Amino acid sequence: MRIVDVHNHFYPPKYMEALRSGDSAITIKIDADGNPEVHYPGDFNTAVLGHRDIAYRQGVLEQEGVDTQIITLTTPGTHVETPERAVRLARMVNDEFAEIVAARRPRFAALATLPLNDPAASVVELRRAVEQLGMPGAMLFSNVNGVALADERYWPLYEAANDLGCILHIHPTNPISVEAMREYWLMPLVGFLFDTTVAAGHLVFAGVGERFPRINWVLSHLGGAIPYLAERLDRGYEAFKECRAHIVKPPSEYLKTWYFDTVNFDPTALELAVKFAGASHIMAGSDYPHAIGSIPYMKRALTAMNVSESDRALIMGGNAAKLYKLG
């Protein structure tokens, strides 16, 4: 059964070298095992070998039977830099991603990174990534230095994405009010999921989905809490006139047309998402090689789901092959 992993992360070598040069808001430290630690305000990631060595990573995919990964940059993203550096680093990442895809397809495809703290430059880079580099879209973070994705400063970006029929995959980042989540890794364990949920709800209520219907939205980590809370959003639509100001149907009707990756390794939770959006809108994701990501856990959960074999094939890779035009 074909496996396409739509949620995983890679730090390209030139990008890492640029961070090490010191011309960045990000600090690189080395841990006891020799792995770079990518420190940014409020958090850090340990870049293990799978994050930064594409040949090693390809060997892992071959061993695990993963046919294709859609690689993306991960936190902190380029938007934590000055706008000038963000533009330069985003172009660098996208060029490196394009080189990897050209050399190693069909094992890899990629989504673009955008300099999101410069909305106008993000439009330019999205068009370059799609029209010149052949990427199917971009990954967005759930907020941009505290600015909501639903903010109208990003609507020109959505207009361009709509014109191009792009994929926009929302990935969480440091939530607002993160100070309440400093202990016990509550930020990635809980805060990330709810920042995705807030971003999705805000985009729908603000009318972004209504206004730009050709964008293919993908939500990380099974949509955060969207499948679980969608009924409550619909009640808000009925109860509050503000929730009806920009949309003409209940929020769940928009959200059911979005896509959800399976970075939640509980088969029962996955089945709820299938019941909410349908098997045709669920796509395999591993969050490899982060500490709480796992290709084996992804495969185990997808195998254990109580769905038909035809639906399982769609979720494992069929939906992504079609959406990302993998052939």
Q: Please give the tally of structural domains in the chain.
A: 1
Query: pTM here?
Result: 0.96
What pLDDT score does 42 carry? 74
Nearest to 293 by CA among 56, 28, 111, 69: 69
156-165, 169-178, 273-282, 315-324, range with the lowest pLDDT: 169-178
The pLDDT tens digits of the residues spanning 195-252 come to 999 999 999 999 999 999 999 999 999 999 999 999 999 999 999 999 999 999 999 9
Kindly state the average pLDDT of the residues 29-49.
92
Kindly state the average pLDDT of the residues 151-167.
98
What pLDDT score does 185 carry? 77
Question: In the chain, pLDDT over 70 holds for what percent of residues?
Answer: 99
35-49, 121-135, 228-242, range with the lowest pLDDT: 35-49
Kindly state the average pLDDT of the residues 281-304.
98
What pLDDT score does 188 carry? 80
Q: Which long-range contacts link 35-39 to residues 24+ away (Cβ below 8 Å)?
A: 38/11, 38/76
**DSSP string covering 114-164, please?**
--TTSHHHHHHHHHHHHHTT---EEEEESEETTEETTSGGGHHHHHHHHHH
Q: Are 202 and 230 in contact (CB under 8 A)?
A: no
Q: Are 135 and 129 in contact (CB under 8 A)?
A: yes
Give alpha helix (H) positions in the chain: 13-20, 49-52, 54-64, 83-104, 119-131, 155-164, 186, 192-205, 208-211, 226-239, 251-255, 267-277, 295-304, 309-313, 319-323
Q: What is the mean pLDDT of the chain?
A: 96
What pLDDT score does 182 carry? 74
Q: Which domain holds residue 216?
A: 4-323
Residue 255 CA: distances (Å) to CA of 187, 225, 248: 24, 12, 13
End-to-end CA gap in the chain: 15
CATH number at residue 224: 3.20.20.140
The pLDDT tens digits of the residues spanning 139-148 come to 999 999 999 9
What pLDDT score does 62 carry? 98
Residue 10 CA: distances (Å) to CA of 57, 112, 208: 9, 12, 29
pLDDT at 2 over 90: yes
Other residues' Cβ atoms within 10 Å of the Cβ of residue 261: 27
pLDDT at 275 over 80: yes
Half-sphere exposure of residue 31: CA atoms within 13 angstroms, side-chain side: 12
Q: DSSP code of 175?
A: P
* Residue 289: cis peptide before it, omega within 30 degrees of 0: yes
